Amino acid sequence: MTPTKRQGHKRRLSRRTRALVAVAALLLGGGGTAVIAANASAGGARQPAARSADGADASGAAATALTIACPDVGDRLRDVPDPARQQVSTGLAELDAQVARAYERAASGGDGAAVLGELKQQRSATIGRMADAIGERSARPSDLTELSGCSSRQVRTEAADGGSGANALKRPMPGGPSPADFADIRTAPAASRPAARSGGSTGTFSSACGRNENGHFNSDNVIVTPGVSNGAHHTHDYVGNLSTNAFSTNASLAAAGTTCSNGDLSTHYWPVLRLLDGKAAPDANKPGGGHDGNMGKVLRPKSVTIQFRGSPVSKVSAMPRFLRVITGDAKAFTSGTGNANASWSCVGFEERQLKDKYPICPDGADVVRTLAFQSCWDGKNTDSANHRTHVAFARQDGSCPRGFRAVPQLVQRITYDVPDGTAFAVDSFPEQLHKPVTDHGDFINVMPDSLMTKAVACVNGGRRC
């Protein structure tokens, strides 16, 4: 159904709208579910009663949850010599595991001060080893040692609107997400994009890469923690390059097969979306799954669109082969939203976008995740120490910051048919509480040069390819 057609009829709230956020599994260990009894319509809703699985009123449940916030060491890296990369990669994975264990202890009722004290000692030792490895070939980054300390944080879990409509579930969802993390898409602000000017590039180039029908999943992150199994601590969905895992190299990626019909060997991956229906998933005891606090059945995308777009103010240049780009931030909830770039909507309502909420979609509309990548490149580097500073987002008017040039903008658009009455959440690090703002996408450009040349020509020529 096109957006125009959907906007033309009366928008009715379905059972999904009335109860989407009503059901969630306990994400860190066993537990029951919570459900809503409510009636709703497009004109309004009466106050629903939140109830536990056995029917007991849950409205008196705690309205806060505990998490642990630590500075993101990886984001502060500026220079990592090649000989130190493996030590740094291992250290980053160790830091994530240390925070996860501390979070679990704190959430289970451990002494907060003792947990944070032990965590600081562990982080200090790990960061010290990373700094030493860097210092053997470059200036030792003394400022990293300042990032050892962490803090605990109480997080609101009740609906932000004070308890009306479908978000009125009072019972928090242990491990996240909470009712406050969902919003009716009709309340979202309208999205805006700068208008194309004379000299801009208005074409598009798409790669048809499927929707991971071959079941390519792992909890690695070859960009951030190469050479480390389960470096992401959450499960990624992959399309494109068939070989991508923690141990992939430029050579192995270039030699692999692909799910893309046009021969594009690029790697595309993002955290899986899970149904929180209380049912055990096949990976309930495996790394990236239940072992790391990610519970629920993995929901296969209904569709995946891989598209490259132009710049509204200039022509675009070719991306270099093996360019690595991350958009969004898996730690945005505790580290701040400076790198966040999640965008959520519903089919037929994509003129509206949510940045920090999961969407409650009207009758029949699928959930949409959109990951729009940085479209400006520094013209020199295919990666950087923190995997961010070699690329940049365009300014509000569509132009690139000084020292950067426009390249085709990758947009990953993923849709899901979420069953009526079932909550969902993106995989995350445990302490991030499965917040929608932590959504992120990853990309390694492995297009053959001839295909990249074609993509640039299509984009700059105003064609749809």
Helix runs in 28-147, H state only: 73-76, 85-107, 112-135
pLDDT of residue 191: 84
Q: How far apart are CA 33 and CA 90, in angstroms?
A: 37
From the list 122, 217, 178, the residue with the least C-alpha distance to 333 is: 178
Residue pLDDT, tens place only, 83-111: 999 999 999 999 999 999 999 999 888 99
Question: Whose structure tokens read 């037929």?
Answer: 348
The tokens for 137 are 């070939």
pLDDT of residue 5: 35
Q: Report residue 409: phi and psi, to 5°.
A: -90, 120
Instruction: Tell whether 166 is covered by a domain.
Output: no
Report pLDDT for 196. Answer: 83
Question: Would you say residue 115 lies in a domain?
Answer: no
CA neighbor of 448 nearest in space, from 319, 268, 317, 311:
319
> Of residues 45 and 160, which shows the higher confidence score?
160
Please write the tens of the pLDDT for every residue from 108-162. Answer: 889 999 999 999 999 999 999 999 999 999 999 989 999 999 999 988 777 644 3
Q: How far apart are CA 73 and CA 227, in angstroms?
A: 18
Percent of the chain exceeding pLDDT 70 equals 83
Residue 274, strand partner residues:
298, 425
**pLDDT (tens digit per residue) in 372-419:** 999 999 999 999 999 999 999 999 999 999 999 999 999 999 999 998
Q: How far apart are CA 275 and CA 25, in angstroms?
A: 9
Phi and psi for 124 in degrees, rounded to 5?
-60, -45
Q: For residue 20, give the 3-state DSSP assignment.
A: helix
For position 160, what pLDDT does the model report? Answer: 47
172 falls within a domain: no
Residue span of the structural domain in which 341 resides:
3-15+181-460
Is 215 part of any domain?
Answer: yes
Which residues are paired to 101 by β-bridges?
none
In a domain, 141, yes or no: no
Contacts of 372 (CB under 8 A, 6+ apart): 327, 341, 343, 409, 410, 411
Q: Give the model confidence (pLDDT) of 334-349 as tens digits.
A: 999 999 999 999 999 9
SS3 149: coil
Residues paired with 183 in a beta bridge = 359
pLDDT at 53: 29
352 within a domain of the structure (yes/no): yes
3-state secondary structure of 364: coil
DSSP letters spanning 270-334: EEPEEEESSPPPTTTTSTTTGGGT--SEEEPPSEEEEEEE--SSS--PPPPTT-EEEEE-TTHHH
How many separate helices (H) and strands (E) can be counted in the chain?
8, 24
The rounded distance, in Å, linking the Cα atoms of 105 and 98 is 11
- Residue 174: the pLDDT is 63
Burial of 91: CB neighbours in 10 Å, binned 0-12, 13-18, 19+: buried
Total domain count for the chain? 1
For residue 280, being part of any structural domain is answered with yes
Residue 249 CB partners (closer than 8 Å, separation 6+): none
Of residues 273 and 8, more confidently modeled:
273
What's the pLDDT at 164? 35
Domain membership flag for residue 23: no
Q: Answer for the pair 250, 400: CB distance below 8 angstroms, yes or no.
A: no
DSSP for 186-242?
Answer: GGSPBP--PPP-TT----EEEE---SSTT--EES--TTTSTT-TT-SSS-EEEEEBT
Higher per-residue confidence, 17 vs 436: 436
- Residue 450 host element (H or E): helix 449-460
End-to-end CA distance of the chain: 22
Q: What whole-number distance in Å separates Cα of residue 105 and Cα of residue 188?
A: 37
Q: Give 188-206 pLDDT, tens digit per residue.
A: 999 888 888 889 999 999 9
Please report the pLDDT score of residue 179 as a whole number. 86
Report how far residue 276's alpha carbon sits from residue 174's, in angstroms, rounded to the nearest whole number: 12
* pLDDT at site 173: 58
CB atoms within 10 A of CB 146: 10
